[in-house]
Every structure is written in structure tokens, then in C-alpha cells.
Structure 1
Amino acid sequence: MPRRHLAAAAALCLLLPLTACAPGGAEQERTTLNVFAAASLKSTFSTIAKDFEASHPGTTVALSFNGSSTLVTQIKEGAPADVFASADEKNMTKATDGKLVTGSPKVFATNVLTLAVAPGNPLELTGLDKSLDGRKLVICAEGVPCGNATAKLSTALGATLKPVSAEQSVTDVLGKVTSGEADAGVVYVTDVTSASGKASAVSIKGAEKAVNRYPIAVTSSSKRAELAQQFVDAVTAEPGQQVLTDAGFGKP
């Protein structure tokens, strides 16, 4: 190759990503793994995803968080998900019935409800009781796991709730409380833990009557099922379980 062509090629390499000028001209392949997970898993799955990327060079874990019912709809409509983690078994059943996931989903964590209030509980709220009279309460909409659990719990306790709004994800409920738009919100224990002091938790007597079980599975449409199963294994193995336990999730 003439010297002037070599100089031009060298100059071009300075303008391109380093992988494009690797020996032999081969680019390092990168793989994106799309994980759809319930909103209440945002903190823990972000940590697990980083650990997974570190142990799987060349892999990027793209996380999508939302209400479980919304995620099922998105997957059904063709969203490119490789893994689905639900906040309840009801929405996972919708996925299995619709043949949206493969194999038998595995339960990897549990969670219970609590009342999120302003830091220090200045209104002295005591639970799903008369202390909420005249207060702005926010809950999750029915169909969303935390909404289904709230309905089940309030029925079990004989409590009549009068929320000012019903949200499509538990993080939206918590956001209403931390922003001061609501006096209280029914969320998971783990959500208050992740609020980093922006909210306090008021235990709900009898919360164990509505325990949510979180299942996870590889989607039927995944084009990288083996890698997806490895992520599922990372969630259910001891290191992943420790991340979940540290965040306040219960053992499956």
C-alpha cells in the first residue's frame, strides 16, 4: 500500500471507535439483554444487572421498569423482552397462559405492603384505619400487583379505603407521597426502604394476609434464551438473593 494510503488509513482510525481498528479489523460484538421487571425491583435489579454485565463481558442489560400488568401488555404487543420479572403470580399467569414465557416461572422473592408517609409521620397515621379520615391517600390501581394486594388486604381487614387516586405503578404512588401531593400511600416495604429517608413506613396490622410472590421467566420471543436464563439464574442464586434481602425482600 502506498505510504500516502497508509497515512490516510491511520488518520481514519483516529476518528473511529477503537474496536473498529482492532487487529484484523474485527469489532468486538456486544449483546443487549432486555429485562422487563416490576417497578418495585428497580433498585435491586439495577445492582444485579451491573454485576451481571461485569461477569459477562460484551453484554449490556437494558432494564425496563413498569407495572407488571403494563409489561405483560407490552410483551404481548411485541416489545423485545428477553426476561420478565413480575411483582405477582397473577400477571405471570397471564404471561404463561398467553405463551409469552417459557418453562416454569420461578419465584425469587416476596414482599408485603406498608403505609408510606412523610418522614417522621407528622400526621400520626396508624395504618388502614380511621387515622386516614380526611387525609389524601394514594394506592395502586387494581390489575397492578400492589393494587391487587391492596384490595385483598383491605377486604381481609374490613377496611374501606377512599383514595384520591389509583396509580399504574407502585413507584408512582411513592412519588405522590415524597412530593407532598399525598399524605399517605400503600406501597411495598421495600419501596420505603429505597426512598432514602424521603418517606417513613407505618406498619399495617395484618399485612401478612396479602403477601406478594415475585416470579421470573425467560420470554418465548427471546433470541438469546441461553443468556436470558443465565440472568434468571443470577437473580435466584445466592449473590442476587442477598441483594434482594438487603433491600427488604423476603425469601421465596
Structure 2
Amino acid sequence: MTARWIRAVLAGAAALTLGLAGCGDDGAATEGGGRVTVFAAASLTEPFTRLGRDFEAAHPGTTVTFNFAGSSGLATQITQGAPADVFAAASPATMRTVTDAGDAAGTPAILVRNQLVIAVPRGNPAEVAGLADLARPGVKVALCAEQVPCGAAASRALDAAGVRLTPATLEQDVKGALAKVRLGEVDAALVYRTDVRATAGELAAVEFPESTRAVNDYPIVVLKHAGNPDGARAFVDYVRSDAGRAVLTAAGFQPPQDR
């Protein structure tokens, strides 16, 4: 039983389910109906949740379902046949896993950019002022695993600063690294600026100059085996619209370089 065969079966089942969900009692498709399943990087959780609600309000009868996790894990799920309509990744490298497998419908577009900061508790008790402080004896640090976009970005930033450290924990997505700071299990974590902003003051962000070497582009694409391709395209258009970009910018994301 091949992965492609499994994908075909899952996609067919998803299409059947979504088709039934978008039909009225007479079997006719309702305008704007159906479910749109979006696989998105964990760092997009807050703004995409808001955008999903806004999209549903603008498209009555449509339901947006999200799967938020580390981009590398999501890419693997997609290539192994998990039914999804849209993929929004936290790096071009993880998006290439999907495009190289032939699972994207068209060319991904860069949605936004994001930059790393050092997340610390309010008051910054470990007195972390930059990357070098993360290597001090006794300072516990959480990083994302290197195969995850935030981990790859952290590795680039640390290399640029010439800092070598042994993290207390390696997490599978940026929310996991952030949670370690919130729980008091570490003194600091390298995460995205947007994730610290989403804590509404619970945590503080320490900026560092090497973060300019670790800016991640976030590509988004409609998937080839989407069960609801029309809904998927409409969702991608919506998050790329001025209204969508306003929500993302308010969350701390940066516009693409071409904007």
C-alpha cells in the first residue's frame, strides 16, 4: 500500500465529506458552503484564528478548520496524505517538502515575514540582554528543534553571533518553546516576535541585532488534493488581501519584501 494510494483514498473521502457538508436538502451546493481545512505554522495561531472567523462571516455557510503545529511536521502529514486544502508554512524550506512532492496547486506566495526575539519572563530575572547571555552558566534556554523553522532561524542567529550553547530543551514548535518560559522551566527562549506579542505582556521580548540574519518568509499555497479548492483559493485570497494583511501586521508580522 503506497503513500500515494493512501493519499488518494483520504482525499477522496475528504472530498465526499466536504461535498455533502456543502449541499442543501435537495443535494445542490450552497453558495460559499463547505469546509476549508488549513494546515498552518504554530506561530500563525492567533491571527489565523481571527482571520478564520472573519472569513466565515464574509462567506456564510463556510467553516474554516485549522491544524496548527510545527511546519515540518505539517509538511510531512500533507505528503503522507493528510486531507488539507491550504498550507501556510513558516519557511520556504518546509514548503519545498510539499512542492517537491507535487502536492501544491501552483506556486506558493510569500504571505508575511517574521523575526526572532529572546522571550523572557517579565522583569527578566536572568538579566538576558543578548544572545551571548544565553550561554552563561546557569541560564536555561529553550530552542525549537533545528528541523523546525524557528529552530533553523535560531541556529542561523547563534552562528552569526558566534554563540554556542546547550539548550535545556528542544521543542517541536515555537509555542512549545514559549510555554517553557511561561511555566518557569527555562530563563529564556528564542521565539518569534509575534509569539511574545500574543502573550499580552505576560512575557517580554529582548531584541538582538543578529535577528536580522534570521528573518523567515511565510509561504502559503492551495494544495493539489484540496477537497474544497474554491474555498481554499478564496481563503488564500482573503488572508493576502489588505484586510488580512492588516490583521497579520497588527500581530507583529512584517510584510513581504515586495510590499
Q: What TM-score, normalized to structure 2?
A: 0.85
Aligned AA for 2:253? F
Indicate which of 94, 102, 108 corresponds to 2:111: 108
Matching of residues 52-201 of structure 1 within 5 Å: 52-130=55-133, 132-133=135-136, 134-201=138-205
Q: Give the stretch that moved more between structures: 123-132 or 141-150.
A: 123-132
**1:26–1:114 Cα change, 3 Å:** same
Q: Say if 2:53 is the partner of 1:36.
A: no
Identity %: 45
Cα distance in structure 1, aligned partners of 2:238 and 2:84: 17
Paired position in structure 1 for 2:214: 210
Q: Give the stretch that moved more between structures: 57-66 or 204-213.
A: 204-213
- The gaps in structure 1 that reach 5 residues or longer are 1-23
Cα distance in structure 1, aligned partners of 2:171 and 2:222: 27
Cα distance in structure 2, aligned partners of 1:78 and 1:105: 19
- The gaps in structure 2 that reach 5 residues or longer are 1-23
Paired position in structure 2 for 1:241: 245
Cα distance in structure 2, aligned partners of 1:120 and 1:236: 37
Paired position in structure 1 for 2:21: none
Deviations 1:126-176 (A, max 9, x none): 121135411110000011000010111111111112201110000000000
Paired position in structure 1 for 2:10: none
Q: Give the stretch that moved more between structures: 231-240 or 29-38.
A: 29-38
Paired position in structure 2 for 1:17: none
**1:31–1:209 Cα change, 3 Å:** same
Cα distance in structure 2, aligned partners of 1:177 and 1:95: 32
Cα distance in structure 2, aligned partners of 1:71 and 1:132: 31
SS in 1 for 2:131: coil
1:223 shift after superposition? 2.1
1:67 shift after superposition? 0.2
1:26 shift after superposition? 4.9
1:205 shift after superposition? 2.0
Paired position in structure 1 for 2:223: 219
Cα distance in structure 1, aligned partners of 2:25 and 2:236: 34
SS in 2 for 1:125: coil
**1:224–1:143 Cα change, 3 Å:** same
Aligned AA for 2:99? T
Deviations 1:69-105 (A, max 9, x none): 0000111121111000000010011111111111110
1:210 shift after superposition? 1.1
Across the two proteins, how many residue pairs are aligned to each other? 229
SS in 2 for 1:129: helix
Cα distance in structure 1, aligned partners of 2:99 and 2:25: 44
Aligned AA for 1:168? Q
1:120 shift after superposition? 2.1
Deviations 1:9-37 (A, max 9, x none): xxxxxxxxxxxxxxx96589551110000
**1:118–1:58 Cα change, 3 Å:** same
Paired position in structure 2 for 1:3: none
> Is the contact between residue 72 and residue 147 of structure 2 (CA under 8 Å) also seen in structure 1?
yes
After TM superposition, the runs of 4+ consecutive aligned structure 1 residues lying more than 3 A away are 24-30
- RMSD between superposed Cα atoms in Å: 1.5
SS in 2 for 1:63: strand
